Amino acid sequence: MDLLSYIVTAVLAYMLGSVPTGFLVARSKGVDIRSLGSGNIGATNVFRILGKPAGIFVLAMDALKGWLAVVLGVRAVVGILRPDAGQSTHEYHALIAALCAVLGHNYTCWLRFKGGKGIATSAGVLLALVPLSLAIILSVWIIVFALTRYVSLASISASIALPFAAWLTRESTTMVAVTGALGALAVYKHRTNIQRLLQGTEPRIGMRPKEAAK
């Protein structure tokens, strides 16, 4: 029963995370978001291609599926399969759900395992897991974005700050390690953005892509 509950949590979280919100929203408008802009299905590319309402909707839905994955993974799965479980068991299920939800978004089975970069979905799981840490890295994101207008640089900075924020808010060692893994995964998914930042070709919000190289 112990192993079964972990497997159910992982599968449920992955399937929730794998819902390609950005792709579906764009497809409903007759657009394949993968062939436009950065080719990413995340909220930033949707914002650039389809505008603010669509971008905000995708951002909210991607965050919601991360939050739901953790909440359902703990309250539903543990509540049904392991009703007498202790606090540590709840934490392990929550951490498995968090990782699998983000992996589902980043490598969705519905699009040949090519998905987004996991920032909004990570925010959703962090809201459920470590809201104080989320508040800290959100502040980092806002400051970096306000200074640079680079969404990617703000996301990378917040991802690097994540495990330190978890440590500062006195989360468990396991939680710090998992948040570190989430942060590292987010940085890895931004590797092409890092290359463009170094080359000076990364587009800023409010700037046409060709202007970024100037």
Spell out the domain ranges in the chain.
1-125, 130-214
CA pair distance 174, 9, nearest whole angstrom: 18
Between the alpha carbon of residue 97 and those of residues 37, 59, 73, 112, the distances in Å are 31, 19, 6, 21
CA pair distance 44, 119, nearest whole angstrom: 10
Task: Give tens-digit pLDDT for 103-120.
Answer: 999 999 999 999 999 999
Residues near 120 by Cβ (< 8 Å), separated by ≥ 6?
42, 43, 58, 59, 62, 63, 66
Task: Give tens-digit pLDDT for 137-156.
Answer: 999 999 999 999 999 999 99
Among 204, 34, 179, 5, CA closest to 102: 179
Q: What pLDDT sits at residue 208?
A: 54
Q: What pLDDT sits at residue 16?
A: 96
Grade residue 209 by pLDDT with cuts at 50, 70 and 90. very low
CA-derived radius of gyration, the chain: 17
Between the alpha carbon of residue 211 and those of residues 68, 88, 147, 205, the distances in Å are 39, 51, 18, 11
pTM for the predicted model, two decimal places = 0.92
Section 124-149 average pLDDT:
97
Q: What pLDDT sits at residue 214?
A: 36
Section 53-62 average pLDDT:
97
Phi-psi sector, 171: left (phi>0), alpha (psi -120 to 50), beta: beta
pLDDT for 213 beyond 50:
no
Among 127, 112, 121, 129, CA closest to 155: 121
